[in-house]
Amino acid sequence: MAGHSKWANIQHRKGKQDAIRARLFSKLSREITVAAKLGDPDPDKNPRLRLAVKEAKANSMPKDVIDRAIRKAMGGDAESYENIRYEGYGPGGVAVIVEALTDNRNRTASNVRSTFGKNGGNLGETNSVAFQFERKGEIHYRPEAGDPDRVMEAAIEAGAEDVHSDEGGHWITCAEDELGTVSAALESSLGESETARFVWRPKVTTPVDAETYEKVMRLVEALEEDDDVQSVTTNLEASEEVMRAYAES
């Protein structure tokens, strides 16, 4: 795994699924409300809201919960949130980027710093690790969208940069500022995508052994338990055997 981003690839532990699901819905609802408040409440007229709703649907969020989050913004009683990025290093020198959506900058900064410290990491200054990553747009289609050649052709015509296909589907990468354009172009040829989101892609990865992998994942999971944290990305690299053993532990 070359990176740990958004909620994809989260290694769930037994007994925590319900809590994780509830926390995920809370984070998605917050993003939907903020997107609707900052722009038009109609997803078709608000790119950020459209992406947030697509992400929510991909994670099986009920329609009434999505609608409620949008209505909250329209009611004018939604809290004022700001996007903040934190950067630091985890165990084994693994680079970590944390993106938060908070109504209290001091609270969030204190919590994130404390979580890094308690889990063998160090919170750094802004841009202390971001240079090791690239900000990209990522669009995911299920395998049924077509064979790799067809998807590749559609992606090239849409202006995408790269395509990776495997048993999980097709992962299409594009420039950050072209996500909306590429996503719309792909819909005309492949239909609606499963997800379309912004991601941090590591330029270089940090290989880790099983012990270090477990320590880094503890840090990631602890950060993701914070209601203000929207996503955590790392540049760790581990073997399939190490990841599988951790997921089954």
Asked if the model's pLDDT at residue 110 lies above 80, the reply is yes
| Cα distance from N-terminal residue to C-terminal residue, the chain | 18
Q: What is the mean pLDDT of the chain?
A: 89
Which residue, of 174, 193, 212, is where some domain finishes? 193
Q: Find the helix or strand (DSSP H, E) in which 247 lies.
A: helix 240-247
Q: State how far Cα 209 lies from the chain centre.
A: 24
- Report the distance separating Cα 46 and Cα 50, nearest Å: 6
Provide the edge-to-edge strand list for the sheet that holds 169-175.
Answer: 162-166, 169-175, 133-141, 195-202
Q: State how far Cα 12 lies from the chain centre.
A: 16
Q: Which domain holds residue 59?
A: 17-74
- Note the pLDDT of residue 14: 39
* Contact partners, residue 64, CB within 8 Å, separation at least 6: none
Contact 135, 120 (CB under 8 A): no
The 3-state DSSP class for residue 237 equals strand
Return the CATH number at 28: 1.10.10.200
Q: Is 156 domain-assigned?
A: yes
Q: Is 79 domain-assigned?
A: no
In this prediction, residue 39 has a pLDDT band, given cuts at 50, 70 and 90, of: confident
Q: Is 23 domain-assigned?
A: yes
Rounded (to 5) percent helix, strand, coil in the chain: 50, 25, 30
Q: Is 21 domain-assigned?
A: yes
**Can you point out the beta strands (E) in the chain?**
82-89, 95-102, 122-123, 133-141, 162-166, 169-175, 195-202, 206-207, 229-234, 236-237
Provide φ and ψ at 138, rounded to 5°: -130, 130
Strand 82-89 to 122-123 pairing: antiparallel
CA-based nearest residue to 132, from 247, 235, 51: 235
Q: Is 215 domain-assigned?
A: no
Q: Is 31 domain-assigned?
A: yes
In this predicted model, what pLDDT tens digit does every residue of 190-226 receive, in sequence order? 999 999 999 999 999 999 999 999 999 999 999 999 9
- Note the pLDDT of residue 146: 93
Q: Is 105 domain-assigned?
A: no
- Note the pLDDT of residue 47: 87
- Number of domains making up the chain: 2
- Report the distance separating Cα 202 and Cα 181, nearest Å: 23
Q: Is 33 domain-assigned?
A: yes
Asked if the model's pLDDT at residue 90 lies above 60, the reply is yes
Tokens 């099983």 locate to 210
Model confidence pTM above 0.95: no
- Report the distance separating Cα 90 and Cα 170, nearest Å: 30
